[in-house]
Amino acid sequence: MDTARHALLRGQFDLTWALFDYHLERLTPEDFLWEPGPLCWTMRPAPDGGWEPDWADTEPDPVPVPTIGWLSWHIDWWWSTALAHAAGRTPPDRTAVAWPGAGAATVARLTALREEWRAALDRLTEADLDAVAPFPWQGDPAHRVSDMAAWVNAELMKNAAEIGQLRLLRAASGHSGE
């Protein structure tokens, strides 16, 4: 990765991750399923012993506030999908993305995705960056793989801010030791 575009995408990603890592390092297991209000999307115990995300195929109105658990699952889903597309693999179905649970296992999973994404960015050539993006625009010829990489940076920044805000709100409400 030695072009100006690569350097910009990698720099944006590294900055976004550093901001996210600040909150990841401070999360407690209790933070993940804390619900800040009566209308929340979260992770629920599944019959098989795993977890299921709240979900609707059509976004409800009003939109529920997601918990940190739900957001961390959602990051795993969209990032796994972006990684699969970047590698030319079939992306996972939403229902196949398993949430590791509240705490260190989820932080480890997100950190592993970070390493996979950094490696994917490093493998992209200029020709790869100029190819039509298969995700999230479903192959719209106006969007390139470089746009997909920039979208990953933006989506991660948004989700990091949401997780950080929820963590801070929980702490400010007296629900944690911060």
Decide if 69 contacts 99 (C-beta within 8 A): yes
The whole-number pLDDT of residue 139 equals: 67
- What is the domain-level CATH number for residue 125? 1.20.120.450
Q: Write out pLDDT tens, residues 3-48.
A: 888 899 999 999 999 999 999 999 999 999 999 999 999 999 999 9
Helix or strand holding residue 152 (H, E): helix 145-172
Parallel/antiparallel/unpaired status of strands 65-66 and 40-41: parallel
Nearest to 67 by CA among 37, 41, 30: 41
Residue 95 is assigned to a structural domain of this protein: yes
Residue 125 is assigned to a structural domain of this protein: yes
Residue 178 is assigned to a structural domain of this protein: no
Parallel/antiparallel/unpaired status of strands 51-53 and 40-41: unpaired
Q: Average of pLDDT values for 59-72?
A: 96
Q: Write out pLDDT tens, residues 118-175.
A: 999 999 889 999 988 888 877 678 889 999 999 999 999 999 999 999 999 999 998 7
Q: Average of pLDDT values for 53-78?
A: 96
Q: Average of pLDDT values for 95-121?
A: 96
Decide if 58 contacts 132 (C-beta within 8 A): no
Q: Which domain holds residue 117?
A: 4-172
176 — pLDDT class (breaks 50, 70, 90) = low
The whole-number pLDDT of residue 100 equals: 97
Phi and psi at residue 49, to the nearest 5°:
95, -10
CA distances from 101 to 32, 51, 65, 77, 127 (A): 8, 7, 19, 14, 39
Nearest to 99 by CA among 63, 68, 120: 68
Number of domains in the chain: 1
Residue 6 carries which side chain, given as an amino acid letter? H
Decide if 160 contacts 19 (C-beta within 8 A): yes
Residue 74 is assigned to a structural domain of this protein: yes
CB neighbourhood size of 62 (10 A): 7
